Chain A
Amino acid sequence: MSEHWLVRPRTIRRLWRVFIAILALTVLAGGVVDAHPHFAIEGLSGFNALYGFLACAALILVAKAIGLVLKRPDDYYDDDAR
């Protein structure tokens, strides 16, 4: 069975290019639409893009840190059987 077209490296490279183009478009569109921000910071161009990226990076790091302390093998609770 040949590889599904969606998982071929060429398709994935193309998808990345399209994705980056869309990312750029959303940032550019931010300058065009009629802004009505609640807070000064919201009006900065590309604020939501940067904030979304940084928030997610921070969440992943926090999860990683918590995981270091609280992760256990997934049969951890198996012996609480009664």
Chain B
Amino acid sequence: MTLASHPGLWLIAAAALLPLLGGRLRGAAALAAPLAALAFAWQLEAGVHWRAGFLGMELAPFAVDALSRLFAMIFALMAFAGALFALNQPRRLELSAAFLYAGAAIGVALAGDLVTVFVWWEVMAIGSTLVLWSAATPQAYRASMRYLMVHLFGGMLLFIGVAAQVAATGTTAFEPMALAGPAQALILAAFLVNAGAWPLSAWLPDAYPEASWSGMVFLSAFTTKTAVYVLLRGFPGTELLVYVGLVMVFYGIVYALLENDMRRILAYSIVNQVGFMVTGIGIGTELALNGAAAHAFTHILYKALLLMSAGAVLYATGRRRCTDLGGLFRTMPLTAACGIVGALAISSFPLTSGFVSKSMITQAAGDEHLFAVWLALAAASAGVFLHAGIKFPWFVFFQKDSGLRPPDPPWNMRAAMLLLAALCIGLGIFYEPLYRLLPYTVDYAPYTGFHVVAQLQLLLFSGLAFFVMLGWLRRTLTVTLDADWLYRVLAPGVVAVLGRALGRAMAVAGALTAGAGARIGAHAQRLYGPHGPLARTWPAGAMGLGVMGMLLALLLSYYLL
């Protein structure tokens, strides 16, 4: 197959071309490239399309099955919606960086071997860091450096793991792995770093919200969902993932509840949503894996919609804190409406895309009679409505009147939000096309009266809890310490303390030894100097006496011993 048949390469070619174009041509290319990628992803046929040899290893840089096609399609679709939203972004680096990033994500999805996965994995880290850089603020730069460190660390884990795996098995094939030894453990750890699994999750709410108003829309889509894809392919049914996922789910909710920055609320809710997918992968039945894949697909759309809505607010007001916002529904009705659609979808309200995907994971937990897991997922579903479904629109668009009267954003941003809002509702009603794209045959009906009523009870009473306990949720001008405190405060603090201790030790040692050199010099001068006893000229007679004394001592010792 030719180069042009790989959807990811379309985006990377566009990334290289965009800086050379200007005006309408640039806009047209920015929209056409992801559409071409989407069309090629749609047409992909199952099988290994490219083979290559590298250092004696058999590589399959372009391999397709239902799962990889699903992710290639959603990544291309997301690149299109994001490009439409970002058309009026004056920082031109950003879209190129985002296309490199999206193209690399498609590269991972279409990689048939672990070596190719690793290469695209690192390109993704570079692309996403460039997206952060294009925000061009000092905060974004510092956050991007912390972000890059975490991801290069993850990349290193992946490299060691893949090398060990290839050495042990003799094959580079990317297939389901059992968690049998350090090689698989390292690969799993690297995947989980990108998934945002606790405790290495703090990079996500630390870095993403520092991106520009359009940058975070791209960032939310690719890294964590590529991690979901590789976990789906590499570690389905690994029980550990059930617990990792549940921790992510509740960590995301609790931190989002405490958060004041609207985009950090949404960042924590990415961790929460990926937690549902990771739990589904851990359950590992066909229904659960289908649910995780479908949820990744729908999640990309509604999370991007939420972040576009937040991005439009940031674009219009320059503010991110809930304490500064409120009452914006008056002059930004479209942004508010689209934000609410995204909020309903993330909460899995019936008739939205989240409902038809997440309910598969909950159902799978029930089918497997995992009572505790099922109870936790149900509580978490209610919690999603609490922390993202109501909290985000309430504090940004309603709450109090902040006095701000910004208008809705320009046409391209409105169009992107409307497109995603339509998809969120469309997929909630016409879910069959999505179900047909899933890796396994779907035998599941989301809309039974029982499912719908149970979900509505769960969500609406969660809403009741929100408004009854609103006083407890009042926003304060605070941040909540997360695991990044360890490397932002504790580690530099320890280094500073050690540095000061070392400095003091050096000072004491210096004081003790001060003048020592001079004293040694003076002593040598006294002994060996022009008038020193050991260097002065002695008379020959004294010399002869000395030698005789020594001979006498020798003679005596000879007789005595």
Give the distance in Å from the alpha carbon of A61 to the alpha carbon of B465 in the complex.
11
Measured between beta carbons, the chain B residues less than 8 angstroms from A57 are 465, 469
Measured between beta carbons, the chain A residues less than 8 angstroms from B359 are none
Tell me the minimal C-beta distance from B445 to chain A in angstroms.
11
The answer to whether B366 touches A39 (Cβ under 8 A) is: yes
Determine the main DSSP class of B at the interface with A.
helix
**CB 8 Å contact bits of B484-507 with A (1 = contact, 0 = none):** 000011001000000000000000
- Known: A46-B457, A60-B469, A60-B473. Is A55-B462 also a contact (CB below 8 A)? yes
Measured between beta carbons, the chain A residues less than 8 angstroms from B327 are 7
The answer to whether A39 touches B371 (Cβ under 8 A) is: yes
Measured between beta carbons, the chain A residues less than 8 angstroms from B489 are 77, 80
B258 interface residue (CB < 8 Å to A): yes
The answer to whether A81 touches B472 (Cβ under 8 A) is: no
Measured between beta carbons, the chain B residues less than 8 angstroms from A46 are 457
Tell me the minimal C-beta distance from B101 to chain A in angstroms.
26
**Chain A 7-52 residues near chain B, CB threshold 8 A:** 7, 19, 22-23, 26-27, 29-30, 32-39, 42, 46, 48-52
- For A72, give its contact among B378, B461, B481 (CB under 8 Å): B481
Q: CB-nearest residue of chain A relative to B480?
A: A70
Q: How many residues of B contact A (CB 8 A)?
A: 55
Residue from B138, B250, B387, B458 whose CB has the most chain A CB atoms within 10 Å: B458
The answer to whether A48 touches B378 (Cβ under 8 A) is: yes
Measured between beta carbons, the chain A residues less than 8 angstroms from B481 are 70-72
Measured between beta carbons, the chain A residues less than 8 angstroms from B473 are 60
Measured between beta carbons, the chain B residues less than 8 angstroms from A27 are 457
- Known: A48-B378, A72-B479, A80-B492. Is A56-B457 also a contact (CB below 8 A)? no
Measured between beta carbons, the chain B residues less than 8 angstroms from A19 are 460, 463-464
- For A52, give its contact among B458, B472, B479 (CB under 8 Å): B458
Partner-contacting stretch, out of B26-34, B426-434, B448-456: B448-456
- For A59, give its contact among B253, B321, B492 (CB under 8 Å): B253
Measured between beta carbons, the chain A residues less than 8 angstroms from B367 are 38
B386 interface residue (CB < 8 Å to A): yes
Measured between beta carbons, the chain A residues less than 8 angstroms from B461 are 23, 48-50, 52-53, 56
Give the distance in Å from the alpha carbon of A49 to the alpha carbon of B456 in the complex.
8
B477 interface residue (CB < 8 Å to A): yes
The answer to whether B457 touches A30 (Cβ under 8 A) is: yes
The answer to whether B386 touches A42 (Cβ under 8 A) is: no
Give the distance in Å from the alpha carbon of A76 to the alpha carbon of B206 in the complex.
13
- For A80, give its contact among B387, B476, B478, B488 (CB under 8 Å): B488
The answer to whether B478 touches A74 (Cβ under 8 A) is: yes
Residue from B258, B401, B488 whose CB has the most chain A CB atoms within 10 Å: B258
Tell me the minimal C-beta distance from B86 to chain A in angstroms.
28
The answer to whether B477 touches A52 (Cβ under 8 A) is: no
Tell me the minimal C-beta distance from B439 to chain A in angstroms.
24
Q: CB-nearest residue of chain B relative to A77?
A: B488
Residue from A35, A58, A67 whose CB has the most chain B CB atoms within 10 Å: A67
- Residues of chain A touching chain B, judged by Cβ–Cβ distance below 8 Å, are 4, 6-7, 19, 22-23, 26-27, 29-30, 32-39, 42, 46, 48-53, 55-64, 66-67, 70-74, 76-77, 80-82
Cross-chain pairs A/B with CB under 8 angstroms, 24 sampled: A4-B330, A23-B460, A27-B457, A29-B449, A30-B453, A32-B449, A48-B458, A49-B457, A51-B382, A52-B462, A55-B382, A55-B462, A58-B379, A60-B469, A62-B254, A63-B254, A71-B476, A72-B481, A73-B477, A74-B479, A80-B142, A80-B488, A80-B489, A82-B142
Q: Which 10 A-B pairs have the closest CB atoms?
A: A33-B449, A38-B366, A56-B465, A55-B379, A48-B457, A52-B458, A63-B257, A52-B382, A52-B461, A49-B457
